[in-house]
Amino acid sequence: MAENTRAGIISDIFDIINERQQISFNELSDASFSMGIEKGKLEKVLAELESMKVIASRSRGGVLTYYPLQEGSLRKVLIVEDDKNINKLMALSIGKGFEIGQIYDGGEAMEFVRKNRPDLVILDLMLPHKDGLDICQTIKSDPSISGTIVIIVSAMDPTSNRFKGIKYGADYYIKKPFDPNEMRSLVTIFLKKKGKRFDPLIDLPDEAGISNEIEQSIKAGEQYSIGTIKVGGLGDYAKRFGSDSAMVILRLISQLLQDRAKSTSDKVFVGFLDSEVFVIAGQKRNIETAVEQLQGEFTAVLPFILQDEGFKSINLDIEDLFESKEVPKLELIYEESKKEKILERRNRILKSKGASKSDIGSYTYDEIRQMFGNDELDIKITRDNKDVKLQVSKDNKEDAK
């Protein structure tokens, strides 16, 4: 390949990623094919762009996604981990391009944070003198440093600790043993991603990704499932305990789903419908396993969620708690969608838009909900340049009374 042709291809691929801000490998493949670039060349170009540190990639709801990176001042990362070998491994995983501070005692963390103002802190939970959750809560409750990104990395049982970490403001929770590539990708994208600040909840595949998955599922066989996971009762929970408490639940489910998408050996797709509803798709056996594990994890963490709101389970099991009318009811509801119903609703939408099957593009959130037969929403997620917000829908049944 001539140097100018090679340079031109690199420039063209980067321009596509830069314009889109985030784009899946499949979308890049389609764009490259239309440009006459074969898949093998595309993969080499992407690897070269990553080695140049102008893009980064991560699995986004089971979909390999690329992000453009911005140049700027050297960003600061603090690692608080008492095991010196693991602390060193974390530093090596993050790699060059950051100013890295390393601390082995939790009691020294806050003095370092206030003096050096790191952009991102990686926290172990079990630390001498001051544990990671305490450090996280202290950082996020101080307005002068609350914008500091916090990633918790721990081998401790994540059942309650992940919930507490998110409740205290942690931006992400990684279980040990951690994947060095995941660590590097998360730190890089949190600190260097172009455009809006990276948010793991919002960063799940949106309209475009879900639209593509709907089309793939229609073409796939009966062993390929697509459906929705709804956080039942979240609208009432938000009205009772506030939107911030409800957002913690959504962030918890989002990270649990992302774990499920990463842990299976076969592909599981996870998308977000900017509400209390997620989309999940993949081979039927993998979806059944993922949903079962997700519901089991949520059932295990639910007592801690309720206790956090003042409901104590003294001498009661969780089933007894749910029988009380005073206890808020939260549940994860999975519903597999019938493909013939999706196809029927899809064709109706296309007809109303005057669009052909060969000119589909991306559906809107409203159209996607129609295809899943899930038009009624309890909550709505909105995002501006600064924050992600949760609002109880005006269509909430309680409001309608």
DSSP line for 176-233:
SSPPHHHHHHHHHHHHHBSSSPP-TTTTS--HHHHHHHHHHHHHS-TTEEEEEEEEET
CATH of domain 9-68: 1.10.10.10
Predicted local distance difference test score (pLDDT) of residue 358: 56
CB atoms within 10 A of CB 18: 17
Residue pair 185/59 in contact by the 8 Å Cβ criterion: no
Token pair belonging to 111 = 């003095």
Entry pTM = 0.87
Predicted local distance difference test score (pLDDT) of residue 3: 45
Residue pair 13/28 in contact by the 8 Å Cβ criterion: yes
Handedness of CA 156, 160, 163, 165 (dihedral sign): negative
Predicted local distance difference test score (pLDDT) of residue 83: 96
Predicted local distance difference test score (pLDDT) of residue 298: 94
Predicted local distance difference test score (pLDDT) of residue 1: 39
Q: Where in the chain is the domain with CATH 1.10.10.10?
A: 9-68
Q: What are the tens digits of pLDDT across the range 243-297?
A: 999 999 999 999 999 888 876 566 899 999 989 999 999 999 999 999 999 999 9
Q: Where in the chain is the domain with CATH 3.30.70?
A: 207-400
Q: What are the tens digits of pLDDT across the range 109-154?
A: 999 999 999 999 999 999 999 999 999 999 999 999 999 999 999 8
Regions of the chain short of the pLDDT cut 70: 1-4, 263-266, 312-325, 355-361, 385, 394-401
Short-list 304, 312, 293, 368, CA closest to 330: 304
Token pair belonging to 216 = 């793939």
Question: Which stretch of DSSP H or E encloses residue 67?
Answer: strand 63-68
- What kind of architecture, by CATH, is found in domain 75-192? 3-Layer(aba) Sandwich (3.40)
Token pair belonging to 4 = 């100018």
Find out whether the peptide bond into 177 is cis, omega within 30 degrees of 0.
Answer: yes
- What kind of architecture, by CATH, is found in domain 207-400? 2-Layer Sandwich (3.30)
Predicted local distance difference test score (pLDDT) of residue 388: 86
Q: Where in the chain is the domain with CATH 3.40.50.2300?
A: 75-192
